[in-house]
A and B are shown apart, each in its own frame.
Chain A
Amino acid sequence: MDKARRTFLKIAGASVVAGMAAPAVMKLTATPALASSEGHAAPAAHAPVGGGHAEETPTVMRLGMVIDTRKLNAKEGLIDEAIAACIAAHNIPQFPDKKSEIKWIWKAPFENVFTDHSVRLGSKKITDNDFPVLCNHCDEPPCCKACPTQATFKVEATGIVAMDFHRCIGCRFCMAACPYGARSFNWQDPRPYVKSYNPDFPTRMKGVVEKCNFCGERLALGQEPACVEACKGTGAITFGDLNDPKSEIRAVLDKDFTIQRRPTTGTNPSVFYIV
């Protein structure tokens, strides 16, 4: 009975994936069942095999983000809310010293974020605004190439550069390899420095590397990434599938001139900025 049930579960799971609904966020989810409780329209978990939108499924997804820094800076404190949302969602410790710092998304001045761009004679927008920094979920991630255990890797289905904390040996080769300074290392047990726990997400242990995961765990529930959700209604952060020409994010990219961080490194980041 065990084996039969397991096989059934696997098939059922697969059918759930096949029956995904169309809207931007929903496309990212494998579990419409819970998503429906979030107010999205979604088919039931027992959707029939092959049901749904077969005509637009074939391309592989590549999740990306466009950050409109004009809108993000227009509202006082919005950027901090986005950061706080991430910290709360992922049990990120807050260390008092810079040495042990752990950051998934944080803010920095233009000259630090866009080191390949000149700030000489730049406008006030460039000198006064804050710019959020996070993992770029590169198309060609140097960190994944460097990792000797495949503890960090690109999820082919979504393009997310993910971490398997169970496998990380803490060699920090990925930190040296990342051209964006997006990775942090747990120099000590992070738990005493986590302010409040999100009961649905683990903490990390000492000796492993961590970084932004594009909220893979939230996408699975049909939710938007925490930082995107924190900016809801402002249009400051658009999240979606870069490979889908009909997606909202592609519309945003079509409309405005965007830049990426350190394009010369050839990593092809999935995070775009409107300055």
Chain B
Amino acid sequence: MIEKTLKGKPAYWVWLAFLGMLMAIGAACYIRQYNFGLGMTGMSRDVSWGLYISQFTFLVGVAAGGVMLVLPYYIHNYKEFGRITILGEFLAIGAIVMCLMFIMADLGQPMRALNVVLYPSPRSMLFYDAIVLNGYLFLNILCGWVILTAEKKQVKPPKWIYFFVYLSIPFAVSIHTVTAMLYCGLPGRHFWLSAIIAPRFLASAFAAGPALIIIACLVLKRVAGFDAGRKAMNKLVTIIIYAAMLNMFFVGLEFFVGYYSNIPGHKYALEYLFFGLEHHGQVYNNLVPFMWAFVILAFGAIAVLATPAAKKNDFVLGLGCVALFIAFWLDKGIGFVIAGFIPSPLHEITEYVPTVNELGITVGIWATGFLVVTLLYKIAIGVEHEIEG
């Protein structure tokens, strides 16, 4: 089936070349970082995780979001998702590839990464994260490939694969739960020390992941003549709206706990994110515009997706999904990780601004993820066209 990636319209090749260029830029930036050290980034002693880990956290969610297609289709036998479930699985592969790359980019000693395997440490949440992420990657490759192969041959998929399909559902939940546990089990970081983090992560994942799949479907409809079907997309919109509203509800709960209890530690990070934190006469507010953009885009997207127009009009639907995806990226892919470091354990405030080199690596990794997804979608749609045509 891989041969399907080798034939395409000029636009396909232009797109691949574009991604390849971004990847090359990312690679060049990474070589610089590898040689100099992570001092090439904007991270500091106080804000010791930055864009890489926040992208990782967000993309784990995108990967987990694929389960919102797998679950209705395989558990509830919702046939409308039959055509697009494979898109969810392949998106998960791309997202996890990005996750692993972001982790590698973030390591100070990447050559020693295998120490995680050589000296397994079952008390560390990173140990479990490595297991579930790699497990989920494997499950998606296996299930996606076996089922697509069966589809190509127009036979039923082998029975044994369903074991792995069902297994992938708790794995999807576990990848984001364990990722949340990286943060919410740390005693000294109030903003992260909240039992709502895992549910909140899942809610935002189940909105942002499917939103990206709808965007992909709309793009594929235009460029590849692949129609996911209105009914399937409308069902996804319903899922997205509920999940998005849950995420906003959970964020609201954090505000309640912080501001009603009036415990300073619970308020600092929220204050920093949304209003700017005053400290020794100086106001620190780098992230305020991003966080209000998140709020406005999220509620705006929910409103747009809830209108009847979104059920009929591709443009409105796409607009809503793009807005929602960006909103939740701002929330989890920017705000959540960085604000956890503010203030520092010694109540100092250091703001984080990524460097150009760091952005170059980040863009390069995103481009790699898009490349993986593009190639996989090319295969999936090639097979669809083959059996239909």
Contacts and interface: CB of A to CB of B under 8 A. Distances in A.
A98 B42 CA distance: 12
Interface string A107-130: 010011101000000000000000
Contacts of B347: 111-112, 115
A170 B108 contact: yes
Q: How large is the interface on B (under 10, 10 to 19, 20 to 34, 35 or more residues)?
A: 35 or more
Contacts of B126: 146, 148, 171, 173
B261 interface: no
Contacts of A151: 115, 119
B116 A184 contact: no
Contacts of A146: 124-126, 186
A112 B186 contact: no
Contact of A101 (B37, B45, B107, B186): B45
Interface in A209-248: 209
Contacts of A148: 115-116, 121, 124, 126-127, 130
Contact of A188 (B39, B113, B123): B39
Contacts of B108: 168-172, 185-186, 206-209
Contact residues of B: prevailing secondary structure: loop
B48 interface: yes
Contacts of A98: 44-45, 350
Interface in B22-36: 36
Given A145-B124, A148-B127, A187-B43, A178 B112 contact: no
A176 B346 contact: no
A176 B48 contact: yes
Q: Considering residues A99, A151, A171, which has the most beta carbons from chain B within 10 angstroms of its beta carbon?
A: A171
B346 A113 contact: yes
A185 B36 CA distance: 14
A185 B188 contact: no
Interface string B266-303: 00000000000000000000000000000000000000
B200 interface: no
B384 interface: no
Contacts of A266: 187
A167 interface: yes
Interface in A141-167: 142, 144-151, 167
Contacts of B44: 98-101, 187
Given A149-B119, A149-B121, A169 B345 contact: no
B49 interface: yes
B378 interface: no
B45 A100 contact: yes
B109 A208 contact: yes
A172 B49 contact: yes
Contacts of A267: 187
Contacts of B118: 149
A185 B45 contact: yes
A265 B45 contact: no
B188 A177 contact: yes
A70 interface: no
A115 to B, nearest CB: 5
A182 B185 CA distance: 18
Nearest to A145: B123
Contacts of B113: 169
A43 interface: no
A133 interface: yes
A181 B186 CA distance: 13
Nearest to A179: B188
A149 B120 CA distance: 6
B106 A181 contact: no
A177 B186 contact: yes
A115 B346 contact: yes
Nearest to B264: A115
A180 interface: yes
A179 B345 contact: yes
A151 B348 CA distance: 27
A30 interface: no
Contacts of A144: 123
A169 B48 contact: no
Nearest to A140: B187
Contact of A185 (B48, B115, B124, B348): B48
A184 B106 CA distance: 15
B375 interface: no
Given A147-B124, A167-B119, 16 more contacts: A111-B347, A146-B126, A149-B119, A149-B121, A171-B106, A171-B108, A179-B186, A181-B46, A181-B344, A186-B108, A187-B37, A187-B38, A187-B39, A188-B39, A189-B37, A207-B107
Closest 8 CB pairs of A and B: A170-B108, A179-B188, A207-B108, A187-B39, A181-B345, A206-B37, A148-B126, A188-B39
9 contacts: A115-B346, A142-B186, A147-B124, A176-B341, A179-B189, A187-B44, A188-B38, A207-B107, A267-B187
